Amino acid sequence: MKHTSIIFIIIALLSGCASTTVGRAYLADRAKEELVGKSKHYILRCAGAPIQKETFEDMEFLTYYSTDYVKRDCTVTFALRDGKVEKVSYSGDTGGLLVKGQHCAYIIEDCLED
């Protein structure tokens, strides 16, 4: 019974709401898979205007920057080919060891469907 309770608590934490540290890290992790294939228009609509936009050969890169209230910084870059997201990457202070990506969730949370 004790093991069942622990498993239930872990599942609850991993599927926690976006307002928790673990919940934000979970959203950021989901985005790396779920946003692949989305259109440029979709990303612009949900994440807003990027702070930087670059083109290199057949790739386009949309870059967003997030700073929270304690100066933790995350850069989110969407790599697009033919107007579709091919990769989502995070750099900077993305979060702690067990909650990587938590600081990036502020940028991508409106892009994920429930």
Give me the domain span that covers residue 43.
2-111
Match 């994920």 to its residue by tokens. 112
The domain total for the chain is 1
Q: What is the pLDDT of residues 37-48, one digit of tens each?
A: 999 999 999 999
Write the CB contacts of 83 (distance below 8 Å, at least 6 apart in sequence). 39, 40, 41, 60
pLDDT-derived band at 104, boundaries 50, 70, 90? confident
Q: 16-32 pLDDT, tens per residue?
A: 444 455 566 777 888 88
pLDDT averaged over every residue in the chain:
77
The size of the chain, in residues, is 114
